[in-house]
Every structure is written in structure tokens, then in C-alpha cells.
Amino acid sequence: MVEDVVANTVDSSKGLDLSQYDEEQVRLMGEMCIQLDHNDKAIGAVSKKQSHLMENINKGMLHRAFSVFLFNSENKLLLQQRAIEKITFPDHWTNTCCSHPLATESELVEHEQLGVKRAAQRKLQHELGIKPEQVPLERFKYLTRIHYLSPSDGMWGEHEIDYILFIKADVELDPSVNEVKDTKYVSMEELKSFIDSAEESGTKLTPWFNLIDKNFLYKWWAQLDNLDHLVDANTIHRLL
């Protein structure tokens, strides 16, 4: 499978000028994401840069992603505000961690969503400084997938099949300033108030976080310690 995916590699934007963006974020744009068909089948490897260009998204290019919702022992959800250096959705508040599994042998594994969980563990450490032993793979609970599309600006956007992962853990944070501007834990009522007042306060929220909040989050959160019966492993919710 890895050989098949890597053989179908897409990156035709070598002439694209990214000099106005943060150097580290531009470097990360070279990572190879997992390109998908409409039913979440891996069909190739595509650079993060290519997969987030609206020019390609408008032609149907789709990639795999994940969204982690981390709760502490008080059942409070950890939010992050994306750094202003981010190329897509800078300065937006969102769930704990949102990123992409890479087109590598370890993160292409689909059995029990192991590749996505490995990617989540990797990015929690990269963005928030959370040590892997504080978020062991077996503690991640996969709930379902959403398919959404959202422009960020005229050039960039998102078109993803997003795996939703919950995890309950008390962790130590050491955020990367190049990735994360701010963090905070919120109760369910605090999050509802935060989101209800976002437009008036000028607070920006990522589109995937908004969709998950409106469609799923609170029913899952209310049963945080009893999620098994809420798992919808086979459905791709088309929120387009």
C-alpha cells in the first residue's frame, strides 16, 4: 500500500512564491499528506502545499486529516489558538490539535485507525509539547469521520476527510510558539458561551471546529466516560 501511494505523488507547485510566509511553516508545506478518493481510499501522496491550494481543491483534491479533542480529569476541553504564522486559518481558535497523517508506512495504517492515532500523538508533541507517554495510542477513542470543504482566503483552504479523536488525559503543555498562540481549558458551558459570543467579540473559529461543535460535540462530551455506543466508525458525514 505504501509503495502504491508514494508512486502516485503530486507536487506541481514548485514555482509558487511563498516568500511572504513564515519559513518554518513553508517548510512544513513540503510534508506529504494522504490523497483520497471520495470514500476515504488512499490514492496517492500529495504535498501539504498542493492539498491546501484552492485551485486544486476546486478540482476535487481531497486529503486525510484528524481532529483531537483532549479533556482533562475535570472533563474540561483543551482549546488552542493557532499561531499568526500559520498559513491556513491563522489566529483562529480551534480544538486541541488538528493536522494530517503523512504518507508514510506508520501513518498509512488503517487498522483500528492506527496511522491517524500515531499522527495525532506526533502532532500533540510537535504543537503542544505533550509527551507521547501522556497520550498513549490505546487511549485515543475514534468516533467518526466528517467530510468538509472551507476556503481560508483566496489562495488556501481545506478539503478533508477528518477523523475525530477523543482522549482523556492530564498533560503537561509546552506549546510551540510557531504553532500555537494561546491555549485554555473550558467547561461545556464555557465553550458554549465562548462560541455564542465569538462573532460579537471578533473571535475567529476554524470551520471544522464549528462544524463539529454544531453537529456532534456536546452529545459526545456529555457521555465522555461512556463513548463506545456513540462510535460511528463506518459513516463519512458529508458536511459540505
Q: Do the beta carbons of residue 206 and residue 99 sit within 8 Å?
A: no
Annotated catalytic residue within 97, 98, 158, 179? 98
Helix (H, G, I), strand (E, B) or coil at 5: helix
Q: What is the Cα–Cα distance from 152 to 147, expressed in whole angstroms?
A: 16
C-alpha cell at 180: 500555537
Q: Do the beta carbons of residue 65 and residue 150 sit within 8 Å?
A: no
Active site residue 98: yes
- What is the DSSP annotation of 146-198? EEEEEESSSSBEEEEEEEEEEEE--------TTTEEEEEEE-HHHHHHHHHTH
Q: Do the beta carbons of residue 62 and residue 35 sit within 8 Å?
A: yes
Active site residue 158: no
C-alpha cell at 182: 494561546
| Alpha carbon of residue 203 to chain centroid | 19
Residues recognised as catalytic: 98, 160
